[in-house]
Amino acid sequence: MRKINKFILKTAKDKIDFKVWSATDICQKWWAYMKPLMETNPDDSPVSRNLKEVFYLE
Protein backbone atom coordinates (compact mmCIF):
# COMPACT_ATOMS: atom_id res chain seq x y z
CA MET A 1 0.00 0.00 0.00
CA ARG A 2 1.36 3.41 -0.94
CA LYS A 3 1.74 5.94 1.86
CA ILE A 4 0.13 9.29 1.13
CA ASN A 5 1.29 12.35 3.02
CA LYS A 6 -1.35 14.96 3.72
CA PHE A 7 -1.25 18.22 5.54
CA ILE A 8 -3.70 20.83 6.72
CA LEU A 9 -2.93 24.45 7.42
CA LYS A 10 -4.74 26.43 10.09
CA THR A 11 -3.40 29.92 10.54
CA ALA A 12 -3.58 31.57 13.92
CA LYS A 13 -2.78 35.15 14.82
CA ASP A 14 -0.72 33.92 17.75
CA LYS A 15 -0.38 31.03 20.21
CA ILE A 16 -3.27 32.36 22.31
CA ASP A 17 -5.58 32.30 19.26
CA PHE A 18 -4.59 28.68 18.61
CA LYS A 19 -5.18 27.69 22.25
CA VAL A 20 -8.65 29.28 22.19
CA TRP A 21 -9.51 27.58 18.89
CA SER A 22 -8.17 24.20 19.97
CA ALA A 23 -10.26 24.27 23.16
CA THR A 24 -13.56 24.59 21.28
CA ASP A 25 -16.00 21.70 21.37
CA ILE A 26 -16.10 21.36 17.58
CA CYS A 27 -12.30 21.17 17.38
CA GLN A 28 -12.16 18.50 20.09
CA LYS A 29 -14.84 16.48 18.28
CA TRP A 30 -12.96 16.80 14.98
CA TRP A 31 -9.70 15.61 16.53
CA ALA A 32 -11.45 12.61 18.11
CA TYR A 33 -13.15 11.79 14.78
CA MET A 34 -9.88 12.04 12.83
CA LYS A 35 -7.71 10.20 15.39
CA PRO A 36 -7.82 6.83 13.55
CA LEU A 37 -6.61 8.54 10.35
CA MET A 38 -3.67 10.59 11.60
CA GLU A 39 -0.80 10.70 14.05
CA THR A 40 -1.95 12.32 17.28
CA ASN A 41 -0.59 13.60 20.55
CA PRO A 42 -1.90 12.21 23.88
CA ASP A 43 -4.59 14.95 23.92
CA ASP A 44 -5.82 13.83 20.43
CA SER A 45 -4.37 16.96 18.78
CA PRO A 46 -2.67 16.28 15.46
CA VAL A 47 1.09 15.82 15.45
CA SER A 48 2.62 18.81 13.69
CA ARG A 49 5.96 19.25 12.02
CA ASN A 50 7.57 22.29 10.45
CA LEU A 51 7.70 22.09 6.67
CA LYS A 52 10.65 23.18 4.59
CA GLU A 53 9.74 26.19 2.44
CA VAL A 54 10.43 25.32 -1.19
CA PHE A 55 9.12 28.48 -2.88
CA TYR A 56 7.47 31.77 -2.03
CA LEU A 57 5.23 33.97 -4.21
CA GLU A 58 4.16 37.52 -3.53
Residue 57 belongs to some domain of the structure? no
**Quick check: pTM over 0.75?**
no
Give the tens place of pLDDT for each residue, 7-52: 666 666 766 777 888 889 999 998 999 999 889 999 898 898 888 8
- Residue 51 inside a domain? The answer is no
- Predicted pLDDT of residue 50: 84
- CB contact at 8 A, 49 and 7: no
Total domains present in the chain: 1
Residue 21 confidence (pLDDT): 82
The answer to whether residue 6 is domain-embedded is no
Give 28: exposed, middle or buried? Use CB within 10 Å, 0-12, 13-18, 19+: middle
Q: Which carries the bigger pLDDT value, residue 51 or residue 4?
A: 51
For residues 51 and 44, the answer to whether their CB atoms sit within 8 Å is: no
- Nearest partner of 48 among 40, 58, 56, judged by Cα: 40
Domain extent, residue 15, equals 11-40
Range list of H helices, the chain: 15-22, 25-34
